[in-house]
Structure 1
């Protein structure tokens, strides 16, 4: 997961025009980026963002904040240029234990963070907002306005266990742009979620306009993981993985373990003040995506064959016809990919930190 490896994967394997990383605050990552700029393998655009081959890099940072007696929550901070991110690194270094690492707990309030980021010309987006593990609604608050200034938040990241139908059940989110980002912790998971955006060119300034939905820019389509495949969709015991009623709390009735993890579906139902599936006019389509790694029978060797035959994962998931797929994968796997496109796969839902899985019929 070096910066160069991420850029290569995004540009050459996944076919992505824009990729964001949340380690750009780390001095080690900044050194690698400076090397790429000095050797002219990468170039900083005058309107922000860094161009590498076919892909633009957005410089980001993920921070953890705990407000008073509330639970912790993660926030994504994006900066237009390396110099602003370097200034943010200096601010972070005085407020966390190890500025080299990702997702560090920082000693600051959310409103203080908002003021600093705005002063540097950056942007804050709450990360994986519904997950019980350090999501804004899953761990920290029932309402965004209780902990920060909502007018300074253009967008939220849904996380792997929710889709736009679920998120639009909260009225305070209806004016926010929804982002479906991959939250990848390995190269293979890059692009398991993403969005198509209306932008004139690949620059930070254009991307920022798209996030704020200004001047005709915006998200055109969200490609998100089928929510049941996410790690926290349903409520379950973290120890024995028993599926439990949505309102379960306290000890597990099956094994007595003290940790019952509330699912995203249950949390959204608890907070909902709008009908399920009712969207504001600006909300784009949400296309459920089942990444190749979730398809039974697709291993590393077959992945390489698919890349050699069709170029990128996006081509395989959405564009290549069934007959061409079957020539490489065989009929059974081609059928599964086709069912994934149509949303007709049988899925065992994920819970308590375990991904959902596709059930062979």
Structure 2
């Protein structure tokens, strides 16, 4: 069966209001995330702050007291309302490499395994109760801990200029993981890249590509997601699917130009590069005080022209509703109420159904976004691209 999967969503606060991901919305609680996934059309979600002991306590309490709404599955993961599967994940800032501080997603099967991982992690971070803490271990040392607990790792947003493997740590993942590189079955592309760009790097040929939202607010959930073909929705099936390289059949992601770091950005004149990549200085004022773009970095380190391996999933560009002119929170809620999930509205709902709900102009904008008929102003330097 096919499942819509977003494996990178943050928690802003615990149920009791304590901060977890400081930069995330306080509305991002476990319960709010799962309910929003139903509204969005996401079937499996990875919540990436589950190593925090208070979050694990909260999830255990929900399992005991919420009248059967939550169920821990034998194959791993927690089922909510028989509709959404929660996977337990921890995002770590790896501080033990020679340079850079990349982020690594660590997936564990169940609460028991995540508690053991949290205990091991607590010896190497300053505050295990907060998200994405800097860890003194290197990537291989973390991978070994995760694998000893029957979990797996996924390098996060691998091209972004800050906190990523290719962005500021190494020219090749193989330099970091060495003989354990074959144990890394998937990588997360990030919002400013796509399959076509990533397949310019030959060492990624044997890796599954994931497009996840990295949501820091409820509305951002599902802005990128994957379609998995799984025999059943649980941790074990998803892990096997990534290892087989056949589990992801489609990636839905932003046009990379909409990402915050797609092109080089000048910090002196605040302009985005408009020259052929890689742009190592500003084409407008000649300054080298720049944020190096994802496209520029990929062109700097690529070792082949774009070449998809046979198993590579189809990549479909999507523009989230909130990016479109004339669509705000009220209109989105109206569409969810009258038409269907956001994924259905964005990719499947017919024109007449949209028109009857929100009018002809907005309906046309949604279809223009669906079929790639909108012009985009490129993002960079931490500023999202936008629809012109």
2:84 to 38, 55, 71: 55
Q: Distance in 1 between matches of 2:101 and 2:159?
A: 12
Distance change >3 Å, CA 347–CA 253, structure 1 → 2: closer
Partner of 2:379: 350
Contact preservation (8 Å) 1:63, 1:76 = yes
Partner of 1:175: 206
Q: Distance in 2 between matches of 1:349 and 1:30?
A: 40
Contact preservation (8 Å) 2:96, 2:136 = no
Q: Distance in 1 between matches of 2:175 and 2:106?
A: 20
2:71 to 43, 62, 66: 43
Whether 1:285 aligns to 2:314 is yes
Deviations 1:140-178 (A, max 9, x none): 100111111211100000000111011011000011000
1:7 to 34, 38, 50: 34
The alpha carbon displacement at 1:239 in A equals: 5.2
Whether 1:127 aligns to 2:153 is no
When normalised by structure 2's length, the TM-score is 0.88
1:25 to 27, 51, 55: 51
Q: Distance in 1 between matches of 2:238 and 2:134?
A: 27
Partner of 2:299: 269
Distance change >3 Å, CA 94–CA 67, structure 1 → 2: closer
Please show how residues 203-282 of structure 1 align to structure 2 within 5 Å: 203-213=234-244, 217-238=246-267, 240-244=269-273, 245=275, 246-249=277-280, 254=285, 259-276=289-306, 278-282=307-311
Partner of 2:123: 94
Distance change >3 Å, CA 248–CA 287, structure 1 → 2: closer
Contact preservation (8 Å) 2:265, 2:282 = no
Distance change >3 Å, CA 234–CA 250, structure 1 → 2: closer
Distance change >3 Å, CA 331–CA 238, structure 1 → 2: farther
The alpha carbon displacement at 1:253 in A equals: 6.4
Q: Distance in 2 between matches of 1:308 and 1:145?
A: 47
Partner of 1:202: 233
Higher mean displacement: 90-99 or 327-336: 327-336
- The number of equivalent residue pairs is 354
The alpha carbon displacement at 1:67 in A equals: 4.0
Higher mean displacement: 331-340 or 167-176: 331-340
Give ranges in structure 2 of 5+ residues lacking alignment: 1-27
Other structure's SS at 2:88 match: strand
The CA RMSD over aligned residues, in Å, is 1.6
Q: Distance in 1 between matches of 2:327 and 2:286?
A: 35
Whether 1:114 aligns to 2:114 is no
Partner of 2:332: 303
When normalised by structure 1's length, the TM-score is 0.94
Deviations 1:92-151 (A, max 9, x none): 111111101111100111111111111011111000000001111011100111111211
Q: Distance in 2 between matches of 1:238 and 1:212?
A: 41
The alpha carbon displacement at 1:35 in A equals: 1.3
Partner of 1:322: 351
Whether 1:155 aligns to 2:186 is yes
Contact preservation (8 Å) 1:238, 1:353 = no
Distance change >3 Å, CA 315–CA 68, structure 1 → 2: closer
Contact preservation (8 Å) 1:241, 1:351 = no
Give ranges in structure 1 of 5+ residues lacking alignment: none
